[in-house]
Structure 1
């Protein structure tokens, strides 16, 4: 996926089963526009061309079935060979932070970079900035305030959901989803604390399911000594972004039966 960001590593690829490129065997928009001009004296044909054009736009802009809502543990982002850099506002809170809200398909593939004509515009989320810095911080190096990270998430993932969520809606939806499940509280209530101890993968998964009502997917990375540690927690969201659902498919990969939960 994305290596520049906090929270961010190469993970969308999120190690899901094969990524498919869907190619429509249909005329290009340029061809359609040309045909519309040359066939404007044929109303029925013009209607058909306009309908086909609309379907092409729709299929290109909403080609997904659900979202992965991914939160990342900052201690595991920093406790690697690459390290991390705090943003200018200082060390983020010791809490899970948002990595992204990623459109996905039921077959495990996902769309990306769907609309280059609608790039990230920070002015559209100016009212969310305080909460973004708190709940969606960046720990990438060199130190930054998060705009590059958020822009990457919108350009790569958010543009693929713009038929249901505009830029403001995309980010506000992710922020709202975070308030619906406090992952750290869920884990600590089950006796799972970020103190460098090892915990069973099953206990972590069960704690999140108990608190959220849905089965999560747990992703691990390795610390500077090569030990497996809790890195990211995935929950699935319906295609409107309105609420959590059971995941139709999980990413691939494994953590081992016991993993560390490092401090931050």
Structure 2
């Protein structure tokens, strides 16, 4: 059972990173142009996409971090050569405050996978690609800072967009754009067909940043999983 849960975790993570990046998520240290800061709706991931509720209750009514991914515009895919994630470093007493913040903002919602497992997977898959610029803990601290500044649920609320309703794609996109200098985010949806009707649910919000993960930049226009602009988008938390 443990082996099966591990396989499910890996498959979901790989599928989402490929869908979001459209082969733009870079796996070679130093060979990236920008960062994708990816936040996800726990409700949509657990109730709509995963389908089994993740067996974790209660689900937080916020967007949480899926990852901070070094990415490029040239579709390169090479093995990442950065240093592996260190649990010893993460567990150092000097990192207690950061680790406590990540327990809230960067949570695992897959049954049997701890937060530490999730952090390790994301870092080894994406984060270590930037270890020539950020140490392990600098990387996680940068992700925490971005989350505190650009919480998707807060950006929506500031534009009077509240969960539990459907909205026009353009209204959701503009709510994010207005707080990132007009730069283009990515809104990713999960399509759910029930009783012959298909609804799209906002699964993830991607905000792109420069190669220092400081200033927002336009996300490249792309491919699968992006919300359909002509259809209502359900915003659920």
Post-superposition offset of 1:8: 4.7
Q: Is the 8 A contact 1:61 1:163 kept in 2?
A: yes
Partner of residue 207, structure 2 = 235
Q: Which runs of 5+ in 2 are unaligned?
A: 1-6
Q: Which whole-Å deviations, capped at 9, do the CAs of 1:143-200 have from their partners, x for residues lacking one?
A: x4311111110101011111111111111111111111232122123232111x2111
Supply the distance in 2 between the matched residues of 1:149 and 1:224 (Cα, whole angstroms).
29
Q: Which whole-Å deviations, capped at 9, do the CAs of 1:7-54 have from their partners, x for residues lacking one?
A: 9572111354456999xxxxxxxxxxxxxxxxxxxxxxxxxxxxxxxx
Is 1:68 the counterpart of 2:32? The answer is no
Q: 1:120 aligns with which of 85, 89, 97?
A: 85
Post-superposition offset of 1:227: 2.3
Residues matched between the structures, number: 216
Partner of residue 18, structure 2 = 13
Taking a change above 3 Å as real, the CA distance of residues 203 and 19 of structure 1, as seen in their structure-2 partners, is closer
Supply the distance in 2 between the matched residues of 1:154 and 1:21 (Cα, whole angstroms).
13
Taking a change above 3 Å as real, the CA distance of residues 93 and 244 of structure 1, as seen in their structure-2 partners, is same
Q: Is the 8 A contact 1:64 1:111 kept in 2?
A: no
Taking a change above 3 Å as real, the CA distance of residues 120 and 20 of structure 1, as seen in their structure-2 partners, is closer
TM-score normalised by length of structure 1: 0.73
Pairwise CA RMSD: 2.7
Partner of residue 96, structure 1 = 63
Taking a change above 3 Å as real, the CA distance of residues 10 and 246 of structure 1, as seen in their structure-2 partners, is same
TM-score normalised by length of structure 2: 0.80
The 5 A counterparts of 1:239-250 are 239-247=211-219, 249-250=220-221
Taking a change above 3 Å as real, the CA distance of residues 181 and 21 of structure 1, as seen in their structure-2 partners, is closer
Supply the distance in 1 between the matched residues of 2:222 and 2:120 (Cα, whole angstroms).
24
